[in-house]
Structure formats: C-alpha cells, structure tokens
Structure 1
Amino acid sequence: MTLQQTTERAAAEPRTPGRDPAPLLPDRRPARVLGTPAADAVDPALLRELHRHLVVGRRFNEQATALTRQGRLAVYPSSRGQEACQVAAALALRPRDWLFPTYRDTLAVVARGVDPVETLTLLRGDWHTGYDPVEHRVAPLCTPLATHLPHAVGLAHAARLSGDDLVALALTGDGGTSEGDFHEALTFAGVTRAPVVFLVQNNGYAISVPLAKQTAAPTLAHKGVGYGVPGVQVDGNDVVAVHGVLSAAVERARSGGGPTLVEALTYRLDAHTNADDAARYRSEDEVE
C-alpha cells in the first residue's frame, strides 16, 4: 500500500473523539490580584504572613550572597526577585504534602520550616543534603535541571495508590522545561492523573539563554495541553495571586482532579550564581 493510499484510508476511517483542549489552555492574561478589586477581599492575616516571609526571604538572599563573598558558601544561586513564587509555594501546602525544590529554591525550603543553616549545607559543599527530607517533607535541593520532576510524580502516584491524600509540588525554572525529564514527568502525571503540581518560575533566562531562544510555545503554560494537563499563567511577582493559583491547584490535585502546570512570570534580579557575570548577556537597563 502506497503512502497516499494509507493516508486516504486513515482519513476515511472513523476517528475516536479526542479530548477538548480548550479547558486545558491558559487564559490570555496572567492571573493577578494585587492592584485589582479582588485584593480587598484577601484575608489580612494571610497578607501579613505572606509579607513576613517575603521580607525574611529578601534578607536571606542578601545574607547568603554576602556569605559567598566571604568564602563561607561555595556557591549561591540567588532568587532575589523571585521571592513571591517560593513563599507562595511553601504556604500553599499542608504539613503532610511534599515540596520538590531546585538548587535556587532555598527560600521555599526555609519557609517550609527547614533550618536555614541546614538548607545551605549543600551550597557550602558539606553534604548532599543538610536536612531530613522525610521529617520536613522536602526533597533534597536538586541541582541537575528537572531530574526531580519524575520523582515528584512517582511519589504522588504511589501515595494515591496507598490511600494517602498528600500532594507533591515540584518547582523548576524556564530552562527546566526544555529538559527531557520535564516531558517525561508531565506524560507520567497526565496519564496517571497523579496529585502533583508543577510550578515553573519563568525568570526569563536559562542561565544566559533567553526564553525566546529555547522555546517557540506561546507560553510555557501552553505546554501542558500536549500531555492532557491544564496550564495556568500567573504574575509571579504577585504573591497573593501565586498563592491563590497554587492553593487551588493543590486542592484540585488532592480531590482527584489530576496535575496542573503553573507558569509564574517573574525575573531574576541577580546573576545566575555568584560565579556568573550577567552583564555579558543582559543590559543594566533591562534589569532596572
């Protein structure tokens, strides 16, 4: 049978109706709360808690950066500018849920209750992990891009099979979405409807590679549709909006609704690490 005959036969055969992709697509505009009428309805106690963690997080970034200059840390990947994403991620979880951080997500780990000194143990070069992952329900800081994402899906899927209603929340960056592990994790999560939430902190750069040079997708949130996973885009500097979107995604996963891919639009104000010269690939005007 020729290629043309095969194509004509396939076109003539009835097709199984596919899943409507519309509910999986992100809205045209990122979700926002601050500066909108919706901000008036936010619980003041939640605002105070979020703000406290933001202040502590900014101070943590400044102190850890200073420690690298003193030679007391081997390396520090600052998350200055991205504090809202990490604070919101930690506070959206229940105590029994699991957090899967990258090497840049030290603020989320501290906000989860891990001692700051233990959090920085890996970055001092002292040990693989300075804290007990099971005690804190926080996986080790992951340095290889996206390799922890399939782990998060596996843990969440296993928990559901055992009757545990915990949720896994895995953080990654825009560069991580170009790794094979990201695609494997979303495939696994979509098929099994695992109770896992993926938070992509899109800070504009995969080290020195701008987003436009690593993906042609309309947004990173659009990538979820190919795996049957709904995508949501949120203003990553609006801590209330990020907390609201993640809280909804976590509870959706807990109730059996399956995984969600959240893209938070933010910006990395500092260099990739203390060993990076960001001036080589972006201008001072852009950062300002």
Structure 2
Amino acid sequence: MSRSMPRHKNDALMVAAPRASMAEVERAGPAQLADSKRFWKIEKQEGDLTGQLGDLEQGTRQRNREFEAKLRAIAERIRGLEVGIEREVQEREETHAVMFTGLQEKLKAAAAAVEADAETSITDRFEPGLSENMERIEADDARVEEFVHVTVPRIVDEQSGAVTRKLQKARETFDIENAKIAKRERKLVSRFETHVKGTAQSFEDEEATRVGKLWLLGEDLQAVEHMDDRGDESLQLSIVKTIKATRGDVATLSKERGYHDGLLLDSLAHAQQKLQRCILETFGTKEEDDDCGDSRPGGHVE
C-alpha cells in the first residue's frame, strides 16, 4: 500500500516531445537525500545513553568497593567481639573460682565459729557450779562403782527387762539427735549447692544473652544489606527499561524513515515510467498525443 507524496511547484517540469504538446512531469529528487531533522537528536540520545552507561558502571564499582569495605569492617568488629567475649569468659571463670574458694573459707570459718561458740556457751553455763558438779561426779562415780560391781550383779536378773527398755530408749534418743544434726548439715550443703548452681546459671544466662545479641546484630546488618541490594536492583532495572524504551524509539524512527524513503523511491520510479511512456507515445498519432496529455501526473487514466 503506497501513499502519494505532496508536490511542490518547483518539483514540476514542463517537457515537450517532438510533434507533441507540452506535458508536466515531476522532477526527480536529488541523488543524495539530506539527513533527517531527527538524526542529530537520535545521535545525541545515543551519546547520552553511552555516557549514562559509563557513569552507571563507575557508580556500581564504587558501591561494590564501599560494600566490601563495610564487610571488612563488620568482620573486624566480629573478631573484636569474639576476643572480648573470650576475655570475659576467662574473667568469669576466674571470678567463679575466687568466689568458690571464698565461700569454702567462709563455711569453714562459720563452722569453727559455731564450735567455739558452743564450747564457750557450755563453759559459761556450767562454770559457776563446776566444783559442786565435780563433787557430785565423784559421788556418782562411787555410786556407779558400787552399782556396777555390787548392785548390778545382784539385780541384773531382776531388772534385765527394765534395763533393756532403758537402753533401747537411750539408743532411740541418740539416733533422733544424730538425725537432727544430719538434717541441719544437709540443709547447709543444699543451700551452698543451690547458691553455686544459681551463680553458674547466671553466668550461662549472661553468655546466652550476649550470643543472642550478636545474632540479632548480624540479622539487622543482613536486613540493611538486603535493602541496599534491592535499591540497587530497582535503579538498574529502571535504567535498563529506559535504555530498552529508547532503543525501541530508535527502531520505530528508523522504520518510519525507511517507510518514507520507500514512498519517495516509489514516486520517483512512477514518474520515470510515466515520462518514458509519454515520450514513447508522442511519436504516434494525435489520439495518442491526447492520451499522453491525459496521462500527466495529477490526471486520471482509464
């Protein structure tokens, strides 16, 4: 499907063949067409895009260098944190050893103080009547000697049952007292072990908290890096879309220029054919001259 080009007054030329009337023909166009008015715009746009690609490449390399510097700084910071944690763990172990040693010394001192207080209390309580008690003890010893060597052999058979019950009761009383003392000792040991476990658990909780904080710090850094990467991808995607759209515009303009050039060539070929046919037909009869006149550009040929 072709479209006729607009004609100007300077494009028409009057030609007269031998024995023929004047005929108006279109003048052929120049052998070399002038550049399109949009040619310099396309060239400028292409140069701008080339410069933008260079700037984009330089900016990407600069951001990559900055990103690597950030990664190195983060690695240095992590190494510093690891060294600090190791130092704190060592200090914690040393502190725990010192506290454990101090607690043992305090426990021994407390036991010695309790024993000394018990001896002092017993001495203070029984010292005022000690002489009377000594006399009573001597008298009791004498009675015991008499009882052991005289009375017991005599009444052992009579009182065997009563003595057995008394001994059993004394043994039970002794066992009860020993059980109470053992219970108090177990309480003291249990309190000490509970304190040791609580101290160890506190150190473990503190270590777990520090490790968790380090993990959270790493996740925050990864989130920021991910946002930066997404921003760079969005910027690069918009630039690539702009380049693609510009290339599409260039292709469209090239296609339109080719289409107009084809129309111009078709018009030139059509004018040459009409000129040749008119020249050939001018050597014929008058009727042929009339037909030639009717075949001028702008006329209608049946």
Range of TM-score over shorter length: under 0.3
- Of structures 1 and 2, the larger Rg is shown by 2
Q: Which has the higher contact order (CA 8 A, sep 6+)?
A: 2
TM-score between both structures, scaled by the size of structure 2: 0.14
Larger relative helix fraction: 2
TM-score between both structures, scaled by the size of structure 1: 0.14
Larger relative strand fraction: 1
